A and B are shown apart, each in its own frame.
Chain A
Amino acid sequence: VQLVQSGAEVKKFGESLRISCKASGYSFTNYWIAWVRQMPGKGLEWMGIIWPSDSDIRYNPSFQDHVIFSADKSTSTAYLQWRSLRASDSAVYYCARLVVRGDLGVDVWGQGTTVTVS
């Protein structure tokens, strides 16, 4: 089981961006994918989750109006998108697979994508 994320991005204020998370080694449509932000020197912030089978999405209200989740079942890839980046979007973004171990938790993390907005 593996989640491989796209490479680091350097963008300008106001630009759009889409980063990816490609899943392999398991049935992509049978597990929630979470997106997690980590700002420099800070903790983990849950952004939301997507069920790739039908694109059911639960956003953290703190992020809901600023990011868009999507998933492509044909390529087993989840996406995190911004239409207009802000400086405060500079962070490392992780995708993660959620599994039920008691309750939902992460069992596999992507390697992270660093986004820098200037």
Chain B
Amino acid sequence: SYVLTQPPSVSVAPGQTATLSCGGSNIGRKSVHWYQQKAGQAPVVVVNGENDRPPGIPDRFFVSNSGNTATLTISRVDAGDEADYFCQVWDTTRHHVIFGGGTKLTVL
């Protein structure tokens, strides 16, 4: 089955850039969705599979996807970005949703 691998944690200082990776076999050929989940809240979409941000998500959030790694980059990180971030793809063969294990972003 298809597996998405995310680092468990990433730490950055305020104002710096956070890079969150999501690894999967030939993930560059897939549409990758990214979700942010703050403590005690439901997840929200930050970037969808067409690389668009929903209304209200700042342009500090942007993505890239090539080869075996998709990346969510958050520039000028602030305390409000501290959350868990999950990547997700759709397995077209088995008609399954696949989530990565999530990365906890800590703002130092």
Count CB-based A-B contacts (< 8 Å): 69
Against A, the Cβ 8 Å flags (1 = close, 0 = not) of B11-35 are 0000000000000000000111101
- Chain B interface, number of residues (Cβ within 8 angstroms): 29
**Chain A hits for B89, CB < 8 A:** 103
- Chain A interface, number of residues (Cβ within 8 angstroms): 22
**Chain A hits for B33, CB < 8 A:** 101, 105-106
Against A, the Cβ 8 Å flags (1 = close, 0 = not) of B29-65 are 0111101010000111100111010100000000000
**Chain A hits for B100, CB < 8 A:** 43
Partner of B96, one of A44, A60, A106, A110: A60
Against B, the Cβ 8 Å flags (1 = close, 0 = not) of A44-71 are 1110010000000010100000000000
- B50 with A102: CB separation less than 8 A: yes
- A46 with B92: CB separation less than 8 A: no
**Chain A hits for B42, CB < 8 A:** 94, 109-112
**Chain A hits for B44, CB < 8 A:** 109
**Chain B hits for A43, CB < 8 A:** 84, 86, 99-102
Please indicate which of the listed interface residues A36, A46, A101, A107 has the most CB atoms of chain B within 10 Å of its own CB: A101
Tell me, in angstroms, the Cα distance from A60 to B29 when the chains sit together.
23
Sorted from nearest, which 4 A-B pairs have the closest CB atoms? A102-B31, A102-B49, A105-B33, A103-B90
